[in-house]
Structure 1
Amino acid sequence: VLQFGSISLDTMSQSLEINGEAVQLTAYEYRVLEYLMLHAGEVVSKTELTERIYEQDYDRDSNVLEVLLSRLRRKLDPDNRLKPIETLRGRGYCFRLDRRAG
């Protein structure tokens, strides 16, 4: 279980809880969130993230990743107070919460 404050991601059951409440994720949302949480504090490039979430080597629309991240941000932080996922223009994304945050 990856625990960052009120956000808890169970990698065995592939489930997300926020403040003890289950939050539904699509398979792609889960993959993105898991990868970012496993690399918390690190900058993850768009290319690296795209390669991790797509199993097949088919046409990957770059806009899809932005849509996934937008949906994840709304699910993780509906009040926009924690801002757990930061976009670093031209570099990638970073999961910014630490294990004590919350």
Structure 2
Amino acid sequence: MSSDEERTFTRLLEEQRAQNNPVSANRTSEAEWRTKLSGKKIVDGQANSVDTFSKKDLPEKHRVVPPGAVVTKDYYPDRLNVHVDEQGNATHVTYG
């Protein structure tokens, strides 16, 4: 096998592993959610400005985690955790 063929094989193998691994797939989604939510206030109703984001537009499996909240340690790789500050603004996101 030539070095070009080996590189192609390795790249295809890594792509296949990423497709079959929900945690890897979530890494891209996590970055996308971080971009969408960064600094925005998470609201129950309709988002009425560019500085707000409605909970109804989050994935079905999600939880909003305020500072100091007690959360279960159960792990769901497809659950989006939106961490917010005291004012309800998104500070970071994780999956799990």
- What TM-score, normalized by structure 1, do the two folds share? 0.29
Normalized per residue, which structure has more helix? Answer: 2
- What TM-score, normalized by structure 2, do the two folds share? 0.30
Query: Higher RCO, 1 or 2 (CA under 8 Å, sep at least 6)?
Result: 1
Larger radius of gyration: 2
